[in-house]
Amino acid sequence: SQYQFIAVSTVGERSNVGLIRLNRPQVLNALSSGLMAEVVQALADFDGNGGIAATVITGEGKAFAAGADIKEMTARSFAGLVTGKFRSNFAALQSTKPLIAAVNGYAFGGGCELAMYADIIIASERAKFGQPEIKIGLIPGAGGTQRLTKAIGKSRTMEMVLTGDSIGAQEAEKCGLVSRVVPAESLLSEAIKTGEAIGRNSKITVAIAKAAVDASLETTLRQGLSTEARLFQTTFATKDRVEGMAAFVEKRAPQFSDE
Ligand code: CO8
């Protein structure tokens, strides 16, 4: 394999779901620069692969990812952070297709941030989410203060970011950080099933829908509704909407062409 720190495959009945497994279980999948660079590459490859409908990312062992690699970070300096490339792998994460995080265990620090980068988080009952950076003299640096606040609100985010304490899967579900909690043994199959369900829809319409939901996090309600209206209109220009409606009327399954 071209990868050292992750394992990459395609899964699902139609082999149309990408799977990325973080694979440094001996250090709880700590996100070293090397590992992050591989995640960026694998995600970009799946994104550009016409046969892939969605990607699932998960961790090997008892962690999803316990954060940035602290041993690697100890050598970093303020000047190096300002002028260097430490953040660039997080900043380079890019997926126009749906990304599903299957959080199997600890999602701490950069691990929680990586999960929150995903479009959907499905949690095993063993999952734990935290932004413990404060305990080592840092603050979250890859979206933790922003995406967590948008997901679960200011008060809980403040409590987590200021104390460094983590929350379990049930609490994460209760406060809306994850879409659902499933038994540990069915986590991966549930995440893949979700990818397959997305894959039964038109790729072009899925991309438009994802862009519309993403817009809600970036803008005012008025602008967001306007963006949604425009994107809704564009779906009428697709062959897949003609097919989808025809199939409904004719009481048959649609044959989407992704056009
Ligand atoms: N980095 C490096 N090594 C790690 C990390 C990590 N983040 N987490 C765990 N490990 C290693 C441990 O050192 C240990 O290695 P060894 O066996 O050689 O001693 C091995 O993994 C197993 O870990 P533990 O023995 O600690 O396992 P426990 O089950 O006892 O504890 C915990 C699990 C509670 C998750 C614990 O490992 C822990 O607290 N880990 C650190 C969590 C943390 O602080 N994460 C935040 C890191 S900072 C961060 O993520 C900033 C992100 C910035 C991104 C933006 C880029 C600019």
CA of 242 from ligand 1 middle (Å) equals 51
15 CB-near residues (< 8 Å, 6+ apart): 51
Active site residue 68: yes
For the whole model, what pTM was predicted?
Answer: 0.97
Active site residue 115: no
86 CB-near residues (< 8 Å, 6+ apart): 33, 76, 80
Catalytic residue among 133, 142, 173, 209: 133
- Our answer on whether the CB atom of 110 is closer than 6 Å to any ligand 1 atom is yes
pLDDT number for residue 85: 76
Active site residue 133: yes
Per-residue pLDDT tens digits of the chain, which is 259 residues long: 799 999 999 999 999 999 999 999 999 999 999 999 999 999 999 999 999 999 999 999 999 999 999 999 998 988 888 887 778 888 899 999 999 999 999 999 999 999 999 999 999 999 999 999 999 999 999 999 999 999 999 999 999 999 999 999 999 999 999 999 999 999 999 999 999 999 999 999 999 999 999 999 999 999 999 999 999 999 999 999 999 999 999 999 999 999 9
Q: Which atom of ligand 1 sits closest to the CA of residue 81?
A: 57
Active site residue 143: no
- Our answer on whether the CB atom of 130 is closer than 6 Å to any ligand 1 atom is no
CA of 63 from ligand 1 middle (Å) equals 10
Reported as half-sphere exposure (CB side, CA atoms, 13 A), residue 83 has a value of: 3
**Residue of the CA atom closest to atom 20 of ligand 1:** 27
d(CA 96, CA 44): 9
**Residue of the CA atom closest to atom 8 of ligand 1:** 66
Q: Which atom of ligand 1 sits closest to the CA of residue 164?
A: 44
In testing the pocket of ligand 1, which one of 22, 23, 26, 27 has its CB within 8 Å of the most ligand atoms?
27
- Our answer on whether the CB atom of 118 is closer than 6 Å to any ligand 1 atom is no
> CA angle, corner 47, sides to 45 and 48, nearest 5?
65
Q: Is 73 helix (H, G, I), strand (E, B) or coil?
A: helix
d(CA 19, CA 12): 10
pLDDT number for residue 253: 95
In testing the pocket of ligand 1, which one of 22, 28, 126 has its CB within 8 Å of the most ligand atoms?
28
